[in-house]
Structure 1
């Protein structure tokens, strides 16, 4: 079983969403866009324990906090999930709730003729939903899950989608905040308890443990003074009540019941250090490192998935406090054992394990949440995809906005200038990072147009900066990007040299010479304090052409004051700021 489609209405920051999911999907996008909200929405429908949380929802779970209304005007949270690829047991269990779905058109088959269900690409599906609302009569928030088919008649309710039904669907959700507080105890519903239940292991140790604890006396030694105080308490009490009321007070280890014992039993884990007796010291699992706790919780969920054998595994930020090699192993392990896996991630090491069609690039505008499957970037062949993805495309996929630069010099220069200007005047300028803009190097002017279209189709806000172009080329670029900035020169190196103040150029050139970074093959053009300005610009032009990729253009601009920077660079950065501030 797996989720093929999910619809969300009025839930948290999402007014509406309609997503199609593949077998293994990673949701990518900027922070606070709604990725976690989608996984929480799935948990409201499919999580066996979720409806037992009190309250199931609250006012902050409604879109913009609006939950008032009565009758037909009642505002509801509605989440609908379409499940496909049911196994034989699930088909038998849900036989009265089965509908049919065309995977080619992504539509449900409604009504006769019956032959429609035998067509290629048509599969049986299960449609289940969650409804959350405010009950004015009870002054409380309520939620329920139900089967969407068959339709309820007038005055009737849909059939309930129960906890037992949900367990058969096998939705496992690992949130990004993983304290392990209920993972490694034997509390009912904890991950360890679920594993014991699935393994049909019923530990019958509770009464034995409690009996042993009840006979252990504490502080009976008179030299401690505690027993004398307790005896005094007993004598004082007898002045007021009969002897039977408070006889023989003493300290015991615990007054736990079986349920309380389940909650407090704690797993201890070796720390790798040994005591004076050569025995490894064990500490409670919650005293372990963040990464260790994350892996422990994940391991328990993987064990559950292996025992159930038919699970939908949803996981937020699997890279949290985990090294890159472990991230890759986790992703591949989960995908190998789960019938479906759904991840959120900001890690290039995780994203490169997915083919582009399994990367769902998401965005949200005015409450409308959408997802677009990625594709291979232009000119990138599949065999070079992983290498290029980490190097050039990952950051852009994860951001809301993208700035495409024609070459490496611009790629270095604009972020550096933006940081410097923000340092000088933060009220007028922002860093590109602060604006949520990822910078990508097109490597040539001919790639600006295809890259612009690629990122625009993914729902990104696209900016582009490039050298002076032919009118037809610029017009083509303008069609596929939101904001374009054409330089007044035919090369960006000339923009820097002709636009930067003379004092800054001489300062930069002098630093290159004094630090012995001036190349030997340009020895006859070594800058001096007496060198004419035009001759200096010519020498620096040759230097920049030779040192492309070394970040020297960015270094030059980072040394400038606001008045020393090229006007084109300042105007471009101000214009970019204006598009976001507005």
Structure 2
């Protein structure tokens, strides 16, 4: 790239009240629905168009604010060269609009959405800026270049927008689509056009002459001359296109493989049709580049691609992202696909999220991170738990038991699934693995909560990570975001201690297929190993799960409790969800363990859920 879009600033446009973004060669926009990803793409599009219909709905309003016709929206875009200065080609193209800077030259273009009193409607106004203002001076800035920005200037930086509703069948009937632009002007030498059209006419007439039905219909339609009151009119049926200029109207795309005859693309699913639209755009960009090169004009495309993974299976999603990367120009892609997100560099991710009445954009801060820490974020979060990137809130827990039971308890407590409110529950697989999840949650503005085992070493480890990620934290923040299980317990011990023994015994009997299995288990262990049982522990040095033979005293009530925990530890995944469902059979929400109710109450979910459902 000889140039690129360096920075975007937005004031009062749609859901963005104030936004400054540093742009990259490729950017991936992530976030839940209705948070502003499409709006961001629209702002980029408007910054490079000389005309588009706009309306009052594009002006940002705070809650209960009444629109004043004097309120405007501003979109500023900064274009910079790859090197310190523009190449001769681009310098000649931008001319008087070039801002010469100490570090780099640039071109600043302002787009204003304003109300026109005479027309009674909103319109776009484009101005070149004589300097790039500081962020807090954007709305007061008035130092504009005296020369108007003409369409020819922006033709060299065309913007291509491919929305999520794309379908090649629709495009084939739209002369303004990329397919329509590609096929609407088939350039052939005149002698070839004459020969081909003559042949087409002969083929069409041959079809008519040899078809009794078409001949009969033609004869009947010629009665139109009686209605029109003239004998000089006639009607003809063209079974195929007669003119080269109209040949695109009868085109078909057909697909075949080695095992079948070809068939029309309208018989295929939306995945193939969507992908074909994307490939059509790629072909159009290649042709435009050749055209501009032949005219010795600069060319730098900007691509705005909305959910390119729509209707595609996982393997196809990986392929299409690689094809997008290979396209020329600067790419801005919105996606709901963790598969696509896992393929980008961390610095290319932008997270769009709501913050009150306005939307915000966050990125992952890689400053002061080692390569190993960056790798952990990429491997342990983005690639393995990419759904975190789309959450409004996240609950982190230590293992798979909590990961399975928390969604069950959540639904029982609030009456809807946690994902409906944009809340993810993620087991980090060990107390030593919280840090990358905390890092990415903080940087992307995702509120994070933790339900943790209560061992002293675990408490110290999580507190250390909190301090590293969030800085020195006070007890109030820690109390709000983290719930430790009491008395040094892990989750299974906690359930026993909190009085859920009956439910646990019922689940064990059901899974093992034997009534009073706990008694059999205790007798067998004492008989076969003289009281020694294999218990799961975590080696604090290598953080690996290991098994050791320890002497267990299973006598009395305490022994039964120990046996229950030992059984649950050995089959965590098998027991977890069933235990949760068994507990909520008590019906009352107070049946949910107190520590988990405490966690839910601290998250203020009830208030946010009401807003979500409305």
The TM-score range, normalised by the shorter chain, is 0.7 to 0.9
Instruction: Give the distance between the partners of 2:479 and 2:435, measured in 1 at CA.
Output: 8
Q: CA 1:571–1:385 in structure 2 vs 1: closer, same or farther (change >3 Å)?
A: closer
- Contact 1:76–1:131 (CA<8 Å) still a contact in 2? yes
Q: Is the 8 A contact 1:362 1:372 kept in 2?
A: yes
* Correspondent of 1:401 among 370, 379, 393: 393
Residues 29 and 333, structure 2, Cα contact 8 Å, conserved in 1: yes
Report what 1:103 is aligned to.
Answer: none
- Partner residue, 1:410: 402
Q: Alpha-carbon deviation of 1:514?
A: 0.5
- In the TM superposition, residue 330 of structure 1 has moved relative to its aligned partner by 2.9
Question: Which is worse superposed, 184-193 or 352-361?
Answer: 184-193
Of residues 18, 23, 31, the one that matches 2:33 is: 31
Spell out the pairing of 1:549-568 with structure 2 (5 A cutoff): 550=573, 552-560=575-583, 561=585, 562-563=587-588, 564-568=591-595
The residue aligned with 2:276 is 296
* Aligned: 1:84 with 2:70: no
Relative to 1, partners in 2 of residues 1:512 and 1:248: Cα closer, same or farther, differing over 3 Å? closer
Residue 269 of structure 1 aligns with which residue? 254
Q: Is this contact kept in 2: 1:363–1:369, CA < 8 A?
A: yes
**Aligned match of 1:323:** 313
CA deviations on 1:511-555 (whole Å, 9 max, x unpaired) are 122189x89x957468xxxx986544322201222234x252232
When residues 253 and 500 of structure 1 are mapped into structure 2, their CA distance, relative to the original with a 3 A threshold, is farther
- For 1:379 and 1:41, how far apart are their aligned partners in 2? 34
- Which deviates more from structure 2 when the two are superposed, residues 505-514 or residues 364-373? 364-373
Superposition pairs for residues 302-321 of structure 1, below 5 Å?
A: 302-307=282-287, 308=289, 310-321=300-311
2: distance between equivalents of 1:289 and 1:493?
A: 48
SS at match of 1:177: coil
| SS at 2:168 equivalent | coil
The answer to whether the aligner puts 1:370 opposite 2:364 as a matched pair is no
- Structure 2 Cα separation of the partners of residues 21 and 154 of structure 1: 24
In structure 2, how many angstroms separate the alpha carbons of the residues matched to 1:139 and 1:332?
Answer: 46
Alpha-carbon distance between aligned partners in 2 of 1:208 and 1:225, rounded to the nearest angstrom: 29
Pair 1:507-2:506 in alignment: yes
Deviation at 1:94? Answer: 0.1
2:419 matched to which residue of 1?
433
- Indicate the residue corresponding to 2:138 in structure 1: none
Q: Distance in 1 between matches of 2:571 and 2:155?
A: 61
CA distance in 1, matches of 2:371, 2:36: 31
In the superposition, the TM-score normalised over structure 1's length comes to 0.76
Cα shift at 1:462: 1.6
Task: Find the partner of 1:133 among 101, 104, 114.
Answer: 114
Whether the 8 Å CA contact 1:452–1:477 is kept in 2: the answer is no
Instruction: Give me the whole-angstrom Cα distance separating, in 1, the residues matched to 2:59 and 2:22.
Output: 23
Cα displacement (A) at 1:35: 1.2
**Alpha-carbon distance between aligned partners in 2 of 1:362 and 1:124, rounded to the nearest angstrom:** 30
Whether 1:335 aligns to 2:325 is yes
Classify 1:206/1:82 alpha carbon distance in 2 versus 1 (closer, same or farther; 3 Å): farther
Per the alignment, residue 55 of structure 2 pairs with: 58
Deviation for aligned residue 1:194: 4.9
CA distance in 2, matches of 1:230, 1:208: 29
Distance in 2, matches of 1:511 and 1:269, equals 57
In 1, distance between residues paired with 2:176 and 2:426? 50
CA distance in 2 between counterparts of 1:434 and 1:504 reads: 28
Instruction: Tell me the equivalent position of 2:99.
Output: 99
1:188-337 maps to which residues of 2 (within 5 A)?
190-191=178-179, 193-194=181-182, 201=187, 212=200, 216=205, 221=212, 226=217, 229-230=220-221, 234-235=225-226, 237=227, 241=229, 243-244=230-231, 247-249=233-235, 251=237, 261=246, 264-272=249-257, 280-283=261-264, 285-307=265-287, 308=289, 310-337=300-327
Q: Which position in structure 1 is the counterpart of 2:43?
A: 41
Residue 361 of structure 1 and its aligned partner are, at CA, apart by 2.4
TM-score (norm 2): 0.73
Which residue in the other structure is 1:104 paired with?
none
Gaps of 5+ in 1: 101-108, 110-116, 423-427
Shift in alpha-carbon separation, 1:255–1:159, aligned structure 2, 3 A: farther
Alignment size in residue pairs: 529
Equivalent-residue separation in structure 2 for 1:510 and 1:37 (angstroms): 55
Instruction: Give distance in 1, aligned partners of 2:502 and 2:316.
Output: 51
Question: Post-superposition shift, 1:233?
Answer: 5.5
Note the C-alpha offset of 1:400: 1.7
What is the RMSD computed on CA atoms of the aligned residues?
Answer: 4.3
Aligned to 1:168: 156
* Between 213-222 and 289-298, the greater mean CA deviation after superposition: 213-222
More displaced stretch, 394-403 vs 483-492: 483-492
Distance between the aligned counterparts of 1:132 and 1:262, measured in 2?
A: 41
Match of 1:63, SS?
coil
Q: 1:209 to 1:498 in 2, by over 3 A?
A: farther
Q: Secondary structure at 1:434's aligned position in 2? A: helix
CA contact (8 A) 2:201 2:242 kept: no
Give the superposition deviation at 1:418.
2.1
2:91 aligned counterpart, secondary structure = helix
Distance, in Å, in 1 between the alignment partners of 2:195 and 2:514 is 77
